[in-house]
Amino acid sequence: GAGVSQSPSNKVTEKGKDVELRCDPISGHTALYWYRQSLGQGLEFLIYFQGNSAPDKSGLPSDRFSAERTGGSVSTLTIQRTQQEDSAVYLCASSLDPNSYEQYFGPGTRLTVT
Amino acid sequence: AQTVTQSQPEMSVQEAETVTLSCTYDTSESDYYLFWYKQPPSRQMILVIRQEAYKQQNATENRFSVNFQKAAKSFSLKISDSQLGDAAMYFCAYTRYKLIFGTGTRLQVFP
Protein backbone atom coordinates (compact mmCIF):
# COMPACT_ATOMS: atom_id res chain seq x y z
CA GLY A 1 0.00 0.00 0.00
CA ALA A 2 0.96 3.65 -0.24
CA GLY A 3 3.30 5.05 2.35
CA VAL A 4 3.48 8.52 3.83
CA SER A 5 3.87 11.15 1.15
CA GLN A 6 5.09 14.72 1.47
CA SER A 7 5.10 17.65 -0.90
CA PRO A 8 6.97 19.46 -2.17
CA SER A 9 10.13 17.39 -2.10
CA ASN A 10 12.23 20.52 -2.15
CA LYS A 11 11.32 24.14 -1.56
CA VAL A 12 13.49 27.21 -1.96
CA THR A 13 12.03 30.44 -0.63
CA GLU A 14 13.14 33.94 0.13
CA LYS A 15 13.52 35.14 3.67
CA GLY A 16 10.29 36.67 4.89
CA LYS A 17 7.97 34.62 2.69
CA ASP A 18 5.41 32.12 3.98
CA VAL A 19 5.61 28.42 3.07
CA GLU A 20 3.24 25.48 3.37
CA LEU A 21 4.43 21.91 3.62
CA ARG A 22 2.01 19.05 3.10
CA CYS A 23 1.85 15.56 4.54
CA ASP A 24 -0.41 12.69 3.46
CA PRO A 25 -0.31 9.93 6.09
CA ILE A 26 -0.95 6.26 5.52
CA SER A 27 -4.68 5.67 5.14
CA GLY A 28 -6.28 4.77 8.47
CA HIS A 29 -3.43 6.11 10.59
CA THR A 30 -4.91 8.33 13.26
CA ALA A 31 -1.67 9.69 14.71
CA LEU A 32 0.53 12.12 12.75
CA TYR A 33 3.83 13.71 13.71
CA TRP A 34 6.04 16.44 12.33
CA TYR A 35 9.79 16.48 12.94
CA ARG A 36 12.55 18.77 11.79
CA GLN A 37 16.05 17.65 10.86
CA SER A 38 18.72 20.33 10.76
CA LEU A 39 22.51 20.33 10.93
CA GLY A 40 22.66 22.27 14.15
CA GLN A 41 19.76 20.71 16.06
CA GLY A 42 19.55 17.14 14.78
CA LEU A 43 16.10 15.53 14.68
CA GLU A 44 13.51 17.42 16.70
CA PHE A 45 9.86 16.76 17.41
CA LEU A 46 7.58 19.61 16.36
CA ILE A 47 3.92 18.62 16.81
CA TYR A 48 1.68 15.60 17.23
CA PHE A 49 -1.87 15.13 15.98
CA GLN A 50 -4.40 12.59 17.15
CA GLY A 51 -7.21 12.84 14.66
CA ASN A 52 -7.66 16.54 13.97
CA SER A 53 -6.55 17.77 17.37
CA ALA A 54 -2.99 18.51 18.44
CA PRO A 55 -2.49 17.47 22.07
CA ASP A 56 1.23 18.21 21.90
CA LYS A 57 2.56 21.30 20.13
CA SER A 58 5.51 21.66 22.47
CA GLY A 59 8.16 21.36 19.78
CA LEU A 60 7.03 24.24 17.57
CA PRO A 61 10.00 26.63 17.79
CA SER A 62 8.08 29.92 17.53
CA ASP A 63 4.67 31.38 16.82
CA ARG A 64 5.67 31.63 13.16
CA PHE A 65 5.09 27.88 12.97
CA SER A 66 1.61 26.41 12.87
CA ALA A 67 0.05 23.18 11.68
CA GLU A 68 -3.38 21.82 11.05
CA ARG A 69 -4.92 18.54 10.12
CA THR A 70 -8.26 18.20 8.40
CA GLY A 71 -10.52 15.19 8.03
CA GLY A 72 -8.16 13.18 10.18
CA SER A 73 -5.90 12.82 7.19
CA VAL A 74 -3.81 15.46 5.40
CA SER A 75 -1.74 17.83 7.49
CA THR A 76 -0.19 21.15 6.56
CA LEU A 77 2.75 22.75 8.35
CA THR A 78 2.92 26.49 7.75
CA ILE A 79 5.93 28.67 8.42
CA GLN A 80 5.28 32.39 8.27
CA ARG A 81 7.93 35.03 7.60
CA THR A 82 10.60 32.40 7.03
CA GLN A 83 14.09 32.93 8.42
CA GLN A 84 17.37 31.37 7.34
CA GLU A 85 17.45 29.25 10.50
CA ASP A 86 14.24 27.57 9.31
CA SER A 87 16.27 25.82 6.59
CA ALA A 88 16.01 22.11 7.32
CA VAL A 89 14.39 18.87 6.25
CA TYR A 90 10.84 18.60 7.56
CA LEU A 91 9.76 15.01 8.13
CA CYS A 92 6.26 13.74 8.64
CA ALA A 93 5.38 10.39 10.19
CA SER A 94 2.18 8.54 10.94
CA SER A 95 1.18 5.62 13.10
CA LEU A 96 -1.96 3.53 13.38
CA ASP A 97 -2.64 5.10 16.75
CA PRO A 98 -0.42 6.63 19.45
CA ASN A 99 -0.24 3.35 21.33
CA SER A 100 1.16 1.44 18.39
CA TYR A 101 4.44 3.40 18.75
CA GLU A 102 5.75 2.36 15.34
CA GLN A 103 5.95 5.44 13.16
CA TYR A 104 6.28 5.39 9.39
CA PHE A 105 8.10 8.29 7.82
CA GLY A 106 7.64 10.19 4.60
CA PRO A 107 10.58 11.22 2.42
CA GLY A 108 10.67 14.74 3.86
CA THR A 109 10.63 18.25 2.42
CA ARG A 110 13.96 20.03 2.18
CA LEU A 111 13.35 23.73 2.86
CA THR A 112 16.00 26.25 1.92
CA VAL A 113 15.53 29.87 2.93
CA THR A 114 17.74 32.29 0.99
CA ALA B 1 13.20 15.17 30.30
CA GLN B 2 14.16 12.16 28.25
CA THR B 3 17.44 12.22 26.36
CA VAL B 4 19.15 9.87 23.93
CA THR B 5 22.92 9.82 23.44
CA GLN B 6 24.89 8.30 20.60
CA SER B 7 28.57 8.75 21.35
CA GLN B 8 29.93 7.49 18.02
CA PRO B 9 29.53 10.10 15.26
CA GLU B 10 31.10 7.74 12.72
CA MET B 11 31.83 4.05 12.48
CA SER B 12 33.23 1.90 9.72
CA VAL B 13 33.15 -1.82 9.04
CA GLN B 14 34.36 -4.16 6.36
CA GLU B 15 31.84 -6.07 4.31
CA ALA B 16 30.79 -9.36 5.98
CA GLU B 17 32.12 -8.24 9.37
CA THR B 18 30.14 -7.30 12.49
CA VAL B 19 29.74 -3.81 13.92
CA THR B 20 28.05 -2.51 17.07
CA LEU B 21 26.53 0.95 17.40
CA SER B 22 26.07 2.34 20.90
CA CYS B 23 23.14 4.20 22.40
CA THR B 24 22.29 5.26 25.93
CA TYR B 25 19.17 7.04 27.11
CA ASP B 26 17.78 8.64 30.20
CA THR B 27 14.21 8.41 31.41
CA SER B 28 12.30 8.04 34.64
CA GLU B 29 9.53 6.08 32.93
CA SER B 30 9.28 2.32 33.15
CA ASP B 31 7.16 1.71 30.06
CA TYR B 32 8.52 2.87 26.73
CA TYR B 33 9.82 1.70 23.37
CA LEU B 34 13.22 1.99 21.77
CA PHE B 35 13.97 1.98 18.07
CA TRP B 36 16.84 2.02 15.66
CA TYR B 37 16.15 3.89 12.42
CA LYS B 38 18.31 3.89 9.30
CA GLN B 39 18.50 6.96 7.07
CA PRO B 40 20.27 6.49 3.72
CA PRO B 41 21.14 9.48 1.51
CA SER B 42 17.61 9.34 0.09
CA ARG B 43 16.45 10.86 3.45
CA GLN B 44 13.86 8.13 3.97
CA MET B 45 13.78 7.01 7.61
CA ILE B 46 13.53 3.24 7.74
CA LEU B 47 12.70 1.33 10.90
CA VAL B 48 15.37 -1.28 11.54
CA ILE B 49 14.37 -2.81 14.86
CA ARG B 50 12.19 -2.10 17.90
CA GLN B 51 12.38 -3.10 21.55
CA GLU B 52 9.62 -2.91 24.13
CA ALA B 53 11.01 -1.93 27.52
CA TYR B 54 8.89 -4.50 29.36
CA LYS B 55 10.45 -7.34 27.36
CA GLN B 56 13.70 -8.76 28.70
CA GLN B 57 14.44 -10.67 25.52
CA ASN B 58 16.59 -8.78 23.03
CA ALA B 59 14.94 -8.08 19.69
CA THR B 60 16.34 -9.61 16.51
CA GLU B 61 15.54 -8.92 12.87
CA ASN B 62 17.61 -11.03 10.47
CA ARG B 63 21.17 -9.60 10.60
CA PHE B 64 20.21 -6.91 13.12
CA SER B 65 20.02 -7.48 16.85
CA VAL B 66 20.05 -5.33 19.95
CA ASN B 67 21.60 -5.59 23.37
CA PHE B 68 19.05 -3.99 25.68
CA GLN B 69 20.22 -3.34 29.22
CA LYS B 70 17.30 -1.63 30.97
CA ALA B 71 19.01 -0.98 34.28
CA ALA B 72 22.00 0.57 32.53
CA LYS B 73 19.71 2.37 30.05
CA SER B 74 21.73 1.07 27.18
CA PHE B 75 20.45 -0.03 23.77
CA SER B 76 23.15 -1.03 21.27
CA LEU B 77 22.63 -2.28 17.73
CA LYS B 78 24.66 -5.13 16.30
CA ILE B 79 24.83 -5.58 12.54
CA SER B 80 26.17 -8.97 11.48
CA ASP B 81 27.49 -9.88 8.03
CA SER B 82 27.57 -6.20 7.05
CA GLN B 83 26.59 -5.36 3.50
CA LEU B 84 27.34 -2.33 1.34
CA GLY B 85 23.65 -1.42 1.52
CA ASP B 86 23.92 -1.01 5.28
CA ALA B 87 25.87 2.22 4.81
CA ALA B 88 23.69 5.02 6.20
CA MET B 89 23.04 7.21 9.22
CA TYR B 90 21.64 5.24 12.12
CA PHE B 91 19.49 6.91 14.74
CA CYS B 92 18.55 5.52 18.11
CA ALA B 93 15.17 6.75 19.34
CA TYR B 94 13.10 6.58 22.51
CA THR B 95 9.34 6.91 22.55
CA ARG B 96 6.23 6.88 24.65
CA TYR B 97 4.45 8.50 21.70
CA LYS B 98 6.74 11.17 20.19
CA LEU B 99 10.18 10.08 19.12
CA ILE B 100 13.26 11.49 20.83
CA PHE B 101 16.30 10.88 18.68
CA GLY B 102 20.00 10.62 19.31
CA THR B 103 22.42 12.59 17.14
CA GLY B 104 23.09 9.65 14.87
CA THR B 105 26.02 7.46 13.83
CA ARG B 106 27.23 7.48 10.26
CA LEU B 107 28.14 3.93 9.24
CA GLN B 108 30.51 3.33 6.36
CA VAL B 109 30.89 -0.13 4.87
CA PHE B 110 34.06 -0.97 2.96
CA PRO B 111 34.32 -3.79 0.39
Give B81-107 pLDDT, tens digit per residue. 999 999 999 999 999 888 999 999 999
Contact A42 B98 (CB under 8 A): no
The DSSP H or E segment spanning B102 is none
**Residue A68 forms contact with B (CB below 8 Å):** no
Question: How many C-beta atoms lie closer than 10 Å to residue A19's C-beta?
Answer: 18
**Residue B7 forms contact with A (CB below 8 Å):** no
Searching chain A, which residue's CA lies closest to the CA of residue B52? A101
A45 → closest Cβ in B42, B43, B98: B98
Give the span between the Cα atoms of A95 and A93, in whole angstroms: 7
Nearest Cα to Cα of residue A96 among A33, A34, A28: A28
Contact A101 B97 (CB under 8 A): yes
Contact B50 A45 (CB under 8 A): no
Nearest Cα to Cα of residue A35 among A54, A15, A60, A2: A60
Residue A31 φ then ψ, to 5°: -100, 140
Contact A105 B45 (CB under 8 A): yes
**Residue B33 forms contact with A (CB below 8 Å):** yes
Domains of chain A: 5-100 (2.60.40.10)
pLDDT in tens, chain A (114 residues): 589 999 999 999 999 999 999 999 999 999 999 999 998 778 999 999 999 998 899 999 999 999 999 888 999 999 999 999 999 999 999 998 777 788 999 999 999 999
Q: Give whole-number Cα distances, B73 to A59, B3, B33, B69, in Å.
A: 24, 11, 12, 6
Give B34-81 pLDDT, tens digit per residue. 999 999 988 889 999 999 999 889 999 999 999 999 999 999 999 999
Give the span between the Cα atoms of B93 and B4, in whole angstroms: 7
Residue A39 φ then ψ, to 5°: -60, -40
Domains of chain B: 3-110 (2.60.40.10)
